[in-house]
Amino acid sequence: MADAFDVVVVGGGHNALVSAAYLQSAGLSVVVLERCATLGGDAATEELTLPGFRHDVAASAHTVFQQNPLVREDELGLLSYGLRYQRPDPVFVLPFEDGQSIVMHRDAERTAQEIGRYDAADGAAYLRLLSDWRALAPLQGAERGRPPMDPEEFARHWRSGPLGDEGLRIRMASGIEIIRERFSHPRVRAFMAWASTLTFEAIDEAGTGLLPFALTAGRQQHSWTTPEGGSGALIDALAALIASRGGRIETNADVTRILLENGRAVGVETRDGRRLLARRAVVSGQHITEIPGSLPEGSVDEESMQYVRRWRAGLTMFVAHYALEKAPSYRILGGETSAVAMGRLSSETSLLRQLGAFRVGETTQRDPFLLAINSSLVDPQRAPEGRHTLKLISIQPYDLAQGPLHWDSVKESVAQAMLDAYLPFTTNLSRGDVLAAALESPLDLERRNKNNFRGSGHGGASDFGQYGYYRPAPRWNAYRTPVPALYLTGSTTHPGGSVSGYPGRNAALAVLQDLGIPLADVIARARAQ
């Protein structure tokens, strides 16, 4: 006899777990089924190199997550389950080859002074950007925390704020346009371009105009928000919350079919033939391109299938994890400093060249965009005493001109080039300080996690909208699919990738709304537990 629950949640990534946490807290019986041996997806923390070295497999900073009501207002009591964050200072450093640098400090005025060394007007422009963000942030928060708007509502929404028409223009502009309008000095533009690319969206495309505001101001307010114990600490907290309220979580439970009855989702079947029934809903954290293959043939209409077929990945990444003998120290103007995060970008035009190479399937090995993360600097749990972890990330194409499988031939050389581009900016590291490495090309990222579609851990975009902000096909009402009682969450739903928890919370709200359960009642119930 099949097990039966109110809700079956497919997948154990952070958004699926957020959905499960809200639904279980509502008094529904929930089971979470994760196909891998561990939970977390791209928010997992694992020993990738050597025993005792705990690496975040993908996401490392939970800055965007701090704005989600799940954390900001602690709606479900998640923060009582051991989730703690470090907010380091400096936030990040961006050194240049000639010994110059720009450092983001926790103090905004001090950051503006760093920028002002290159151009006093740019220092003042930085503070104006932070001020303008205070007018734009409520609009973005309202957009992210609900299903996508239709074009008319979208335009009214973005015109309704203190900046009026300018708010809508910024929202629809490209990030590069905004940076060039507001800043003059090449070094300052490089600083802003690097900071605006940290969610791996192509800032030369329309619809990315908020990124110079949101990502810079977010880091300025919340720092490089580092979870103690790794990104997996968020997963552990969510799992503990779900279990404490009676939810069930299974790993090594690979869902291969979504079961329908009279066209309605009524449960799932796993690879080992088990059936788990859902009385009220199935919530899937699968990538949207996986959904049709999990359903009986013909159950999704052709218009919706066209939407799925047109899906395209966003920017894809190459990730190199290292176990280090010691923590890196970086060259900055007048000395050196350690930092959790370091960037490498020689100029905004260098980034644009890399985006151009990306689009034609060419790797960038000379003058690459780099993000370096040394979480163990502020979190000793990440490595044995005195040792450290390092993660290097660059933008590299999944679709190489020679085909994706060519990555297996060039992975080592690309990683070598990335490390060669990184080491000169340190004062104390050489290749001899590398104890072990674990390399993941865009192809490897997809092999590890199917949700890293074509090497992108940030969802992607269809021709219905810009990166991260999705305009659903007529029968895809954001988290509701064309199949009754089947809901979708994860990075391929609005508002996209990163550890934000918004897709998870928004999908749960759609289920609750359809079941007639007010969110206020869920919050009250959770706080009483």
Question: pLDDT of 268-304, one tens digit each?
Answer: 999 999 999 999 999 999 998 899 899 998 888 887 8
328 in any annotated domain: no
Contact partners, residue 302, CB within 8 Å, separation at least 6: none
- Residues 7 and 71 placed together within one structural domain of the fold: yes
Domain final position from 195, 222, 249: 222
φ and ψ of 386, to 5 deg:
85, -15
| pLDDT at position 461 over 60 | no
Of all residues in the chain, the percent with pLDDT exceeding 70 is 96
Full residue range of the structural domain in which residue 186 is found: 107-222
Cβ-contact 409, 394 below 8 angstroms: no
For 24-42, what is each residue's pLDDT tens digit?
A: 999 999 999 999 999 999 9
Cβ-contact 478, 451 below 8 angstroms: no
Cβ-contact 87, 377 below 8 angstroms: no
Torsion of CA 465, 222, 55, 414, to 10 degrees: 60
378 in any annotated domain: no
φ and ψ of 456, to 5 deg:
-100, 125
| CA 192 – CA 184 distance, rounded (Å) | 11
- Residues 199 and 173 placed together within one structural domain of the fold: yes
126 in any annotated domain: yes
359 in any annotated domain: no
Output the average pLDDT for the chain: 94
- Residues 236 and 202 placed together within one structural domain of the fold: no
- Residues 202 and 249 placed together within one structural domain of the fold: no
- Residues 120 and 191 placed together within one structural domain of the fold: yes
At 465 the pLDDT is: 40
Cβ-contact 206, 174 below 8 angstroms: yes
Average pLDDT over residues 320-331: 98
Domain final position from 222, 253, 279: 222
Coil, strand or helix at 327: coil
Give the residue, 276 or 461, on which the prediction is more confident. Answer: 276
64 in any annotated domain: yes
At 457 the pLDDT is: 76
- Residues 41 and 114 placed together within one structural domain of the fold: no
- Residues 259 and 307 placed together within one structural domain of the fold: yes
Domain final position from 190, 222, 254: 222
- Residues 119 and 204 placed together within one structural domain of the fold: yes
Binned at pLDDT 50, 70 and 90, residue 314 comes out as confident
- Residues 7 and 77 placed together within one structural domain of the fold: yes
φ and ψ of 57, to 5 deg:
-65, -30
Torsion of CA 303, 304, 305, 306, to 10 degrees: 50
Query: H or E stretch including 511?
Result: helix 502-515
| pLDDT at position 127 over 80 | yes
Assign 3-state DSSP to the chain and report helix, strand, coil percentages, each to 5. Answer: 40, 20, 40
At 475 the pLDDT is: 59
| CA 247 – CA 20 distance, rounded (Å) | 8
138 in any annotated domain: yes
Contact partners, residue 46, CB within 8 Å, separation at least 6: 38, 54, 55, 57, 232
φ and ψ of 220, to 5 deg:
-60, -40
Cβ-contact 288, 308 below 8 angstroms: yes
- Residues 24 and 74 placed together within one structural domain of the fold: yes
| CA 385 – CA 263 distance, rounded (Å) | 57
Average pLDDT over residues 467-489: 72
Closest CA to 242 of 395, 421, 22: 22
- Residues 210 and 301 placed together within one structural domain of the fold: no
| CA 339 – CA 324 distance, rounded (Å) | 15
Count other Cβ atoms within 10 Å, centred on residue 390: 29
From the centroid of its chain, how far is CA 17? 15
From residue 8, alpha-carbon distances to 22, 292, 450 in Å are 13, 18, 20
216 in any annotated domain: yes
At 271 the pLDDT is: 96
Please count the structural domains in the chain: 2
At 496 the pLDDT is: 84
φ and ψ of 225, to 5 deg:
-65, 105
- Residues 238 and 202 placed together within one structural domain of the fold: no
Give the residue, 299 or 203, on which the prediction is more confident. Answer: 203
Domain harbouring 487, CATH code: 3.50.50.60
At 430 the pLDDT is: 97
Task: Tell me whether strands 255-261 and 264-270 are parallel, antiparallel or unpaired.
Answer: antiparallel
350 in any annotated domain: no
Count other Cβ atoms within 10 Å, centred on residue 399: 18
> Rg (Cα) of the chain, in Å, rounded?
22
Binned at pLDDT 50, 70 and 90, residue 472 comes out as low
